[in-house]
Amino acid sequence: MWFTALLVLALTLLAIIYRKLQKNSKYWKCISEIPGPKGKPVIGNFLDTFATPEQLFNKRRQWAKEFYPIYKTRVFSFVFVGIMTPEDMEKVINSKANNVKGVMYHLFTDWLGDGLLVSHSEKWKSRRRLLTPAFHFTILQEFLNIFNIEAENLVKEIEKSCKEPYIDVVKPITEFTLCSIVETSMGIKMNEQKSAESYKQALIDLNTIFIHRLARPWLLIKPVYKFSQVYKEEQNLVNVMHTFSNNVIEERKKTFDVNDNTYSIKKRQAMLDLLLAAQRSGIDIDDDGIREEVDTFLFGGHDTTAMCICYTLMALANEPHIQEEIVKEIHEILGDSGNPPTYSELQQMSYMERCIKESLRLYPSIPMVSRIAGEDIKTHSGYTIPKGANVCMFIYDMHRSPDLWPNPLKFDPDRFLPENIRGRHPYAFIPFSAGSRNCIGQKYGFLEVKTALCSILRKFRLEPVDTPESVKYSVWF
């Protein structure tokens, strides 16, 4: 308790000094003009952070409506500017000056290092160029076999609970996406690894720590955070994750043949093999760099896809007529053979794709992205976001804006018919972010989600347990 009191006092004194030095600067003049919830002198909105993740979520949504289309919050000298319009998001995302990720991404650096998610400038460009071929459609077609096998395992796991009053699908679906991504990116079967269970649990526990820190802004300050018990817990979990990744990489090195190509005769390789081949060819990437990118892909690709599948299942359970339309489409394309879908057949499932997009609109797996303003940004509403500010792009709120989406809470896949997309701002729907730093694995994710939905809906009829109104959100943004 005494440590917290001293910490707050120290931060308060530093903030007073900093504000006095900066009070006449252009930066603070611009910030002061941007609306936002009223804060206290010096500490700003610090007291608002003393809330559960669910309460913090609801506060954010309240502020987004009250101050739309832009608002700021301040905790001591940390300033966050939230934007919610496609015009402003396009300005931020499309400028090369705003290529550096926001301060919140620093949470992941102990685990992910300087991988594709958090790196910038030349390192980011070279890694992006290196990894892009791993998501070529010829590779995705080969991945489909893995998706189909894991989707069959998923269905079998769900069947075990069919006699229960209801089925909690989050755990088996997360297992499905994790096993799929480990095998497609590393070439190993997750459940054959001795440390698989400890790795899975470490993923869950690490996510809890991230939420814990983001609800306590003083823990974003690394020197302060290192004195906390939570930091020690995080380091133990990171060690578990790194040990798993390093062991897999070392095992693959023993059997890797740069002239062998498991996935395609056109010499395209999956992620880990691509990285190992690059290393052997003399490209500047060491073992730590390989681990960074593997860990980044695992982090970015398993939980986001799992949540998309879960939310889509919930939406379809609550919209039986839409569920029937998807099932009808599946049967029309696949017939009654019982064979797993091919890549071409999944591409034909346009109604299912529209349903996935509508689910991502209402429940985006990436609800917020953040950048450091590398230049002054003149917003659509006339405010200036000064260089150096943390810009938070609230995708969740934009996707539910009545200005962009009539009757925004209604689940309506027809919003994504070609005639309804025409004329809509291209940045009004960005579930995978946008611009040069968009999600490299979005086509991978769509294919995986389609495969899972196809397998589940061929086997089961969905009935609602949760409803959109009953869902309680517990997130950090």
For residue 439, say whether it is annotated as part of any ligand binding site: yes
What does the buried/exposed string (b/e) look like for 214-246 if buried means 16 or more CB atoms within 10 Å of the residue's CB?
A: bbbbbbbeeebbeebeebeebeebbebbbebbe
Sequence-distant (6+) residues with CB within 8 A of 377 are 88, 91, 92, 95, 98, 384, 385, 391
- List the end-to-end C-alpha distance of the chain, in Å, as a whole number: 27
Tell me the C-alpha distance between 59 and 281, whole Å. Answer: 51
Residue 194 region by backbone torsions, left for phi larger than 0, else alpha for psi between -120 and 50, else beta: alpha
Which DSSP category does 101 fall into?
B
Main-chain dihedrals φ then ψ at residue 136, nearest 5 degrees: -65, 150
Contact 200, 178 (CB under 8 A): yes
Q: How many CA atoms lie less than 13 Å away from 428 in the CB half-sphere?
A: 18
Q: How many CA atoms lie less than 13 Å away from 266 in the CB half-sphere?
A: 9
CA dist 391 → 72, 77, 81, 174, 468 (Å):
9, 15, 5, 31, 29
Sequence-distant (6+) residues with CB within 8 A of 107 are 210, 213, 214, 220
Query: Given the structure tokens 């790194």, which residue do they identify?
Result: 242
Q: What is the CA radius of gyration of the chain?
A: 23
Contact 139, 279 (CB under 8 A): no
Per the annotation, where are the binding residues for heme? 439
Per the annotation, where are the binding residues? 439
